């Protein structure tokens, strides 16, 4: 009886949420479908958009829970251990440029795709088999026998560079080192070293992941990781609003963007706060690219400095400084995250702050939010021996660094804020 009650409760949640969703889409003239020209339901805006988004999340989570409750034991595990077939088919579609052979409107035939010169000389039968499994996930559709067309999902993958970059990174990098996490644990145990990971077990390399990527770049080879970073700088998960809302910037003079890559964050903040000055620190090869791409109107406010993340910071007199680390510490185990923070401590004046802008995992959050956080944690673990951290783990990390204490921890929808000051200032 309890199980039936749970199912009924979930069904009521879905129904109530669906009514809110239907009202919103009707009022704002949206249509939810898999049609290629249909909007992404996660990005719809309009009157009552906040209520709509909450209802959408509620419906998805309740439907996910109901699916888990009603699926047989075998089906749950069969899904887990066979998803890679669909992923393998999608990788083939991308690798052989099959998706780009389909018009954004209308359809084409498998025969026509096979005749393209850039599709790896795959025959009609092979192409049809690859698409067949993907259509069962609403990625592409078969409007009539022998024809294939885009859905909004496949069209998004083709036309959204950020999404495409993330998919490629998943296939080319993450799949390999996540699969080999077991081999890494067998060989090195629960290591904190960045070159004793699933990535290392997968490639046989003794370098860290970042050293490996730099070497590929130096050899003139492309990297799906580099492309992913460049394309996802504006991705909604990395929204700057939490940084803007979470801190008092008016009294800050200088932001030191630690391991700030080519300066995405500094450029965005410079547009919002005209009084702020910036120093972007990273490896020499990275900052040279940042300097080349920096808008001319910001060159007098944003400076680049070649600096290793573990190198001691120097005190900057006469300015209130924020040492900013955005999505940095999750790449490192506690052993190395501690060293990164320790390198900043000697430079800290009483008014200075360290601001960590990272995902803050909450055990009490919704099912889907926690699942995504755990996916990210597994990626950090398998690739770098890093981790996503809870608020409690951030507190423990900061306590382990003499001279620092936490001012505030503010979780966000994507990335949150951990603000740190010198010990004894508060």
Q: What is the mean pLDDT of the chain?
A: 90
Q: What is the pLDDT of residue 214?
A: 77
Angular region, 23: left φ>0, alpha ψ -120 to 50, beta rest: alpha
Cα three-residue angle 364-365-368, rounded to 5 degrees: 135
Which two structure tokens, joined as six digits, stand for 418?
A: 């951990």
d(CA 287, CA 258): 12
Q: Calculate what percentage of the chain has a pLDDT beyond 70.
A: 91
**Antiparallel, parallel or unpaired: β 416-422 and 404-410:** antiparallel
Report, as an integer, the average pLDDT of 38-49: 88
Query: How confident is residue 228, by pLDDT bands cut at 50, 70 and 90?
Result: low
Nearest CA to 260 out of 231, 235, 291 is that of 291
Nearest CA to 323 out of 260, 410, 257, 238 is that of 257
Angular region, 425: left φ>0, alpha ψ -120 to 50, beta rest: alpha
Q: What is the pLDDT of residue 117?
A: 62
Determine the number of helices (DSSP H) and then strands (DSSP E) in the chain: 18, 11
Which two structure tokens, joined as six digits, stand for 338?
A: 């501690």
Query: How confident is residue 102, by pLDDT bands cut at 50, 70 and 90?
Result: very high
Fold held by 236-422: Rossmann fold (3.40.50)
* Residue 1 clears pLDDT 50, i.e. is over it: no
Cα three-residue angle 67-79-92, rounded to 5 degrees: 125
Q: What is the pLDDT of residue 243?
A: 75
Helices (H), 108-240: 110-114, 124-135, 152-159, 161-169, 175-179, 181-188, 198-203, 209-218, 224-231
Contacts with 189 (C-beta within 8 Å, 6 or more apart), sequence order? none
Say what the pTM is: 0.86
pLDDT tens digits for range 104-149: 999 999 999 999 866 668 999 999 999 999 999 999 999 999 999 9
- What CATH number labels 73-159? 1.10.10.10
d(CA 226, CA 7): 45
Identify the residue whose tokens are 């791409």: 293
Q: What is the pLDDT of residue 213?
A: 81
d(CA 134, CA 117): 23
Q: Which amino acids are annotated catalytic?
A: 330
């Amino acid at each position: 009886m309890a199980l039936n009650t749970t199912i009924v409760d979930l069904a009521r949640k879905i129904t109530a949420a669906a009514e809110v969703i239907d009202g919103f889409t009707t009022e704002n003239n949206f249509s939810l479908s898999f049609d290629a020209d249909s909007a992404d339901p996660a990005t719809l805006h309009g009157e009552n958009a906040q209520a709509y988004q909450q209802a959408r999340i509620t419906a998805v989570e309740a439907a996910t829970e109901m699916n888990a409750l009603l699926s047989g034991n075998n089906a749950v595990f069969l899904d887990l251990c066979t998803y890679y077939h669909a992923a393998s088919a999608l990788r083939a579609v991308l690798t052989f440029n099959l998706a780009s052979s389909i018009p954004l409107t209308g359809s084409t035939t498998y025969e026509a795709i096979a005749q393209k010169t850039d599709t790896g000389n795959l025959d009609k039968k092979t192409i049809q088999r690859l698409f067949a499994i993907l259509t069962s996930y609403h990625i592409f559709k078969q409007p009539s026998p022998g024809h294939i067309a885009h859905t909004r999902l496949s069209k998004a993958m083709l036309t959204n560079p950020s999404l495409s970059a993330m998919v490629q990174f998943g296939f080319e990098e993450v799949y390999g080192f996540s699969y080999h996490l077991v081999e890494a644990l067998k060989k090195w145990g629960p290591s904190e070293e960045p070159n004793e990971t699933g990535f290392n077990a997968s490639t046989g390399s003794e370098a860290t992941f970042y050293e490996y990527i730099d070497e590929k770049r130096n050899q003139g080879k492309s990297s799906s990781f580099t492309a992913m970073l460049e394309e996802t700088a504006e991705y909604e998960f990395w929204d700057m609003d939490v940084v803007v809302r979470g801190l008092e910037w008016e009294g800050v003079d200088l932001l030191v963007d630690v391991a700030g890559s080519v300066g995405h964050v500094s450029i965005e903040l410079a547009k919002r706060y005209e009084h702020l000055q910036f120093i972007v620190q990273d490896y020499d090869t990275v900052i040279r690219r940042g300097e080349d791409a920096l808008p001319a109107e910001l060159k007098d406010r944003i400076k680049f400095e070649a600096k290793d993340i573990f190198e001691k910071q120097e005190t900057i007199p006469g300015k209130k400084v924020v040492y900013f680390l955005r999505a940095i510490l999750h790449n490192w185990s506690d052993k190395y995250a501690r060293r990164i923070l320790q390198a900043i401590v000697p430079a800290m004046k009483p008014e200075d702050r360290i601001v960590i802008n990272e995902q803050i995992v909450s055990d009490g959050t919704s099912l889907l939010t926690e699942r995504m956080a755990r996916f990210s944690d597994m990626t950090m673990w398998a690739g770098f021996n890093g981790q996503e951290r809870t608020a409690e783990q951030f507190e423990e990390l900061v306590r382990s660094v003499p001279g620092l204490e936490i001012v505030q921890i503010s979780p966000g929808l994507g990335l949150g804020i951990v603000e740190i000051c010198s010990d004894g200032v508060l």
